[in-house]
């Protein structure tokens, strides 16, 4: 199962499981949209892999 890390590895921004702003590489390194666009320019600093939008998991609502 894909590990959904909860923070950007660059700026520490919170990235909950349902975030549309989370990006990952094939090793599941996790970054926010702003860091990917401006700081990292779409490339993972750890493995040089492509950073793509992470799939989302919907958070269950409390009943």
For the chain, domain boundaries? 1-56
Which pLDDT does position 2 carry in this prediction?
86
- Cβ proximity of 15 and 34 under 8 Å: no
Residue entry with tokens 């499981």: 17
Phi, psi angles (nearest 5°) of residue 24 = -135, 160
Mean pLDDT score, 26-30: 96
Confidence tier at 63 by pLDDT (50, 70, 90): low
- Cβ proximity of 33 and 43 under 8 Å: no
Question: Which CATH number applies to 1-56: 3.90.1640.10, 3.30.40.10, 1.10.540.10, 1.10.3720.10?
Answer: 3.30.40.10
pTM: 0.88
Calpha distance 60→43 (Å, rounded): 32
55 vs 63, residue with greater confidence: 55
Q: Count Cβ atoms below 10 Å from residue 12 Cβ, excluding itself.
A: 9
Over residues 2-20, the pLDDT tens digits come to 889 999 999 999 999 999 9
For residue 30, give both structure tokens: 């996790």
């Amino acid at each position: 199962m894909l590990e959904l890390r909860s923070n950007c590895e660059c700026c520490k921004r919170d990235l909950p499981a349902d975030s549309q702003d989370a990006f990952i590489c094939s090793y599941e390194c996790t970054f926010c949209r702003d860091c990917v666009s401006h700081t990292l320019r779409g490339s993972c600093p750890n493995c040089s892999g492509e950073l793509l939008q992470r799939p989302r998991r919907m958070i269950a609502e409390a009943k």
